[in-house]
Amino acid sequence: MKLIQITDTHLVGPGLRLYGLDPRARLDAAVADINHHHADAELVIVTGDLTHWGEVDAYRNFRAAMRPLRIPYAVLVGNHDRRGPCLDVLAAAPRDAHGFVQGWRDTPAGRLVFLDTLDETSHGGQLCDRRLAWLRQTLAETPADRPLYLFMHHPPFAVGVDMMDRIALADSAALIAVIKPARARVRHLFFGHVHRPIAGSWLGIPFSTLRGTNHQVCFDLAPGAPHLTTHEPPAYAVVLIGETEVVVHTHDYLDDSPRFPFSKPDLDDRTYMLGPFPALGRPGK
């Protein structure tokens, strides 16, 4: 099964730019690329910071950009979002009984669980008692043989980029306590927020995140490093899920560097091909 992750689209009003870039044009390009190459995906998940200022116009702009998408999508909220306008404008936003942007979706590969870590008073993340209770119940009610995949905006741990770690999820200990009973069934954690390509594991759960579709966060691991944005290339992730593996590709969809065969380098005349490539099984099948 194939999933697509997009994150941190940071849309503003139509025609407006952000940090010298056009967020709508960049999301349009991602949607076109996904339609062209990955129309067989089960779902696209946009892991928060859909808009930059949380304005109704920006959510309408986001909705318009996503309209041509040939596969269904779901959205999460991030620290730059506002719940009210998001829920008013986007039918793709899940909603729990308390009005948080939370929900789950069953797929052939298992249950996808979408969490709302937005604290509308801060850029840091929060999971209050009501949201954690919803997660506890959702995990408890998921059939024991069904794998779980978690999606959230804020990482529940430090990634080593100082200014982002200051606005990570607060009180991750409470989340850990809720997840622990189901930890063995959680096959992957996907998040956004940090605008960087990062992979690893947390509590033994593999995780990944990726660059946003507009601006990025400067890679600087020095303590107290300034909070700088960059124009590193945007990406989306293609997730291939099989019986035994979860494979996460990140694709720089605006890359236009040259493509050429491995077998015919221009610079020397040595033979690079050692023989025919053996047939391989495909991940996600």
The binding site for Fe ion (CB under 5 A) comprises: 8, 49
Q: What one-character-per-residue DSSP string does 122-135 give?
A: -SSB---HHHHHHH
Q: Which amino acid is at 187?
A: R
Whether 253 contacts 30, CB under 8 Å: yes
Instruction: Provide the token pair at 77.
Output: 């909220």
Q: Which amino acid is at 219?
A: F
Indicate the residue whose CB is closest to Fe ion: 49
Q: What angle do CA 25, 28, 33 make, to 5 degrees?
A: 125
Whether 25 contacts 64, CB under 8 Å: no
Nearer to Fe ion, 139 or 194 (CB): 194
We find the least distance from the C-beta atom of residue 227 to Fe ion, in angstroms, to be: 12
Q: Which amino acid is at 124?
A: G
We find the least distance from the C-beta atom of residue 215 to Fe ion, in angstroms, to be: 8
We find the least distance from the C-beta atom of residue 220 to Fe ion, in angstroms, to be: 17
We find the least distance from the C-beta atom of residue 52 to Fe ion, in angstroms, to be: 8
Nearer to Fe ion, 80 or 111 (CB): 80
CA distance 145 to 225: 45
Nearer to Fe ion, 130 or 219 (CB): 219
Other CB atoms closer than 10 Å to residue 68's CB: what's the count? 11
Nearer to Fe ion, 49 or 116 (CB): 49
We find the least distance from the C-beta atom of residue 104 to Fe ion, in angstroms, to be: 24
Nearer to Fe ion, 49 or 96 (CB): 49
